[in-house]
């Protein structure tokens, strides 16, 4: 028996990176997966390339290798109707919904006074409103199931403390904590638990790109992963530069499992001590 055996998980941003890791971790513990991802560029995000439909197809292949069912849909978390359709189709296919991972998000570095109206709007629409759209699409199914459920929202250490050069990102990641705490209170009577996870830098394309390396190694005209690594490490209390996607997935698995059956309304850092430095 897996820790989430027989349950169904809805995961946004599932094509690669953390989202794929969450899908595989939950599938390995017995869950079937409803996966969505935009798989398209976001105009204001220039630091790293977008996920692709091929990436989402690879997530499907890997989940099926674990002998679990998966339904994947290309959908934008900014489009509440598309999200509802994706969740409805997944519940119709698998018969239930138990777990929600509101994981989809984007990241960009810009000094505060250089953030354009469009960049602000896109960041808030995806990282904040997209989380609300995800929860709103899923909650009716969790209530109707009558078995309770668990929602985990991916925030960031930037949802717990200010982070220079990321004002729009930091505002959104603080905002999802408000969503989490409100829903934890409002839906507790349905035995629906709502929590957030707060990673430090995670070893994905979001931080492993030249623009981010340059922020951590500004004196170097040609920064690399290797030259930026010591500076990354200096921001964490534990002697590591970043954590791995599986570290976040393991925390999510705990929060959605029965082991955390009385944990709700919690902001859980998985940050190598970043927030205590």
H or E element at residue 252: helix 245-256
Provide the CA 9 distance to its chain's centre, in angstroms: 13
* 8 A C-beta contact, residue 43 and residue 60: no
Q: How many CB atoms are located within 10 Å of the residue 241 CB?
A: 20
CA 93 – CA 136 distance, rounded (Å) = 20
Of 134, 128, 149, nearest to 31 by C-alpha is 149
Active site residue 169: yes
Bridge partners for 192 per DSSP: 149
Q: Which among 77, 74, 78 is positioned nearest to 89, based on CA atoms?
A: 74
In the block, residue with structure tokens 């690879």: 58
Active centre residues (catalytic): 169
């Amino acid at each position: 028996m897996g820790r989430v055996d027989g349950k169904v998980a809805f995961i946004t941003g599932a094509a690669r990176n953390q989202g794929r890791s969450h899908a595989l971790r939950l599938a390995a513990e017995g869950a079937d997966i409803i996966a969505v991802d935009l798989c398209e560029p976001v105009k204001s995000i220039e630091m790293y390339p977008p996920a692709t439909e091929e990436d989402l197809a690879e997530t499907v292949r890997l989940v099926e290798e674990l002998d679990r069912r998966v339904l994947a849909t290309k959908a934008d978390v900014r489009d509440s109707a598309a999200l509802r359709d994706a969740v409805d189709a997944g519940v119709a296919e698998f018969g239930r919904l138990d777990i929600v991972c509101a994981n989809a998000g984007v990241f960009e570095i810009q000094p505060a006074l250089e953030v354009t109206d469009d960049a602000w709007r896109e960041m808030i629409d995806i990282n904040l409103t997209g989380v609300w759209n995800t929860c709103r699409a899923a909650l009716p199914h969790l209530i109707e199931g009558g078995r309770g459920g668990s929602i985990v929202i991916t925030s960031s250490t930037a949802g717990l403390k200010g982070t220079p050069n990321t004002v729009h990102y930091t505002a959104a990641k603080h905002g999802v904590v408000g969503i989490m705490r409100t829903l934890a209170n409002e839906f507790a009577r349905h035995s629906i638990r709502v929590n957030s996870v707060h990673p430090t830098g995670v070893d994905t394309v979001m931080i492993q790109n030249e623009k981010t390396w340059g922020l951590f190694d500004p004196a170097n005209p040609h920064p690399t992963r290797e030259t930026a690594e010591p500076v990354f490490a200096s921001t964490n209390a534990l002697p590591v530069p970043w954590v791995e996607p599986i570290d976040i997935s393991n925390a999510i698995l705990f929060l959605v499992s029965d082991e955390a059956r009385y944990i709700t309304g919690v902001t859980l850092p998985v940050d190598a001590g970043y927030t205590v430095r």
